[in-house]
Amino acid sequence: MDERVTSGPEVIHSIEGVDIKQRPARGPRMDPINLVPYLPRAKWSTGPGDQGWHAMLCQVLEESQKHTRRKSLLKVRVMDWITSTAILPLLLGCVGIFSLFKLLQQMRVKAYLRNAVVVITGATSGLGRECAKVFYAAGAKLVLCGRNREALEELTKELAASQATKVQTHKPYTVTFDLAEPGAIVAATAEILQCFGYVDVLINNAGISYRGAIVDTTADVDKRVMETNYFGPVALTKALLPSMIKRRQGHVVAISSIQGKISIPFRSAYAASKHATQAFFDCLRAEVEQYEVEVTVISPGYIHTSLSVNAITADGSTYGVMDETTAQGRSPVEVARDVLAAVGKKKKDVILADLLPSLAVYLRTLAPGLFFSLMASRARKERKSKNS
């Protein structure tokens, strides 16, 4: 190293006659990288080696410039490496594989549902009606079930008039029966099987909701909700199961609810029926796996349908109110598409809800004390707003 540089620091008071202890007046900004041209020739007020100090400053600045250039060069090299060598092709490869996977999945879903015999209960309104539309458009052979024959006929005409699909569609059959009437299910099953000779997918969608305090609710109301939401779907599933097992092919879908996983106050009968649904179909899944029969339980959050309007109250009368939560719920069209995707992908258990209700499911398991307090507070608020 230069001897003059190592000769030790000396106090610099001025450069070219300017007192450097004073702040310089603001001038045009210097290039922060290339400072050497701006470096004045120093006139040192004391000591020897004035030229050496100037040279040393130049050297220091040059070194710093070199360092900055080296860093920029390194950045450029890293970017080059990312874009030209490993990362970019790797990223593109991942995106490609993901897209290919999605495409294959879509093809599989389409192939699974094209020409499949799909039975949908509660097809006269809400989610069932939208499911009918998306499964029809996917090329499924539909058997539409409900209590209202006219509404089913109207839906059939609407489907026939729709041309929004490239896939070959099939004229749906309709079967009218009341799920809450145990005697009606045997006859309905025979009728359903007559339509196409077999059933590939049974979608247990029909359901009824309930609003009321447990203390005021009659046993008949509890039974009615359980008949529609639990005993009816269970009986229909059991009636169609032997033919699925025999063919070693079939898929049973239960449209449950997020209330099949968590219980909300003043919905006791409904939540109980959906908890029972979840439990029954979880057992079924395990029992029929060996026969290659699939079971999917779908638990939606609020959907914008007439469910709350059609709900029954503690005394059995119709509630008749579109709840704010239901009105703000997801569109049934969207949920129907999600149902189709879940069935096509043979999903086992699906929650179709917003973040908050989905988190509540985990809260119920991980922090039950907190969940119970929140529900008690909700019950207090609801009771207060009812009384006011």
Ligand X SMILES: NC(=O)c1ccc[n+]([C@@H]2O[C@H](COP(=O)([O-])OP(=O)(O)OC[C@H]3O[C@@H](n4cnc5c(N)ncnc54)[C@H](OP(=O)(O)O)[C@@H]3O)[C@@H](O)[C@H]2O)c1
Which residues lie near ligand X (CB under 6 A)?
Answer: 122, 124-128, 146-148, 151, 178-180, 205-208, 228, 255, 257, 300, 302-303, 305-307, 310, 326, 329
Q: Please report how close the Cβ of residue 360 comes to ligand X at its closest, in angstroms.
A: 14
Residue number with the smallest Cβ distance to ligand X: 126
Q: Which is nearer to ligand X, 15 or 211 (CB)?
A: 211
**Closer residue to ligand X, CB minimum distance, 56 or 275:** 275
CA angle 346, 349, 352 (to 5 degrees): 105
Active site residue ranges: 270
**Please, what is the minimum distance in Å from the beta carbon of residue 181 to ligand X?**
8
| Ramachandran category for residue 358: left, alpha or beta (phi over 0 → left; psi -120 to 50 → alpha) | alpha
CB 334 within 8 A of CB 341: no
Using the minimum distance from each CB to ligand X, give the nearer residue, 139 or 300.
Answer: 300
Compute the least distance from the CB of residue 84 to ligand X, in Å: 52
Where in 63-200 does DSSP place strands (E)? 117-120, 141-146, 173-176
Q: Rounded to an integer, what distance in angstroms lies between the CA atom of residue 359 and that of residue 301?
A: 12
Structural contact between residues 270 and 257, judged by C-beta atoms closer than 8 angstroms: yes
**Please, which residue, 138 or 180, has the CB nearer to ligand X?**
180
Contact yes or no for 339/256 (Cβ under 8 A): no
Angle between the N-to-C axes of helices 87-113 and 332-344, in degrees from 0 to 180, rounded to the nearest 10 = 90
DSSP 359: H
Say how many Å lie between the first and final Cα of the chain, rounded: 90
CB of 170 to ligand X, least distance (A): 21
Q: Which of 275, 268, 278, 283 is nearest to 298 (CA)?
A: 278
Amino acid letter for position 264: I
DSSP string, 88-106: HHHHHHHHHHHHHHHHHHH
CB of residue 310 to ligand X, shortest distance in Å: 4
Residue 276 CA to residue 231 CA, distance in Å, equals: 10
Instruction: Considering the complex, state which of residue 207 and residue 250 has its C-beta at the smaller distance from ligand X.
Output: 207
Provide the minimum distance between the beta carbon of 158 and ligand X in the complex, in angstroms, as a whole number.
15
Comparison of 93 and 316: residue with beta carbon closer to ligand X: 316
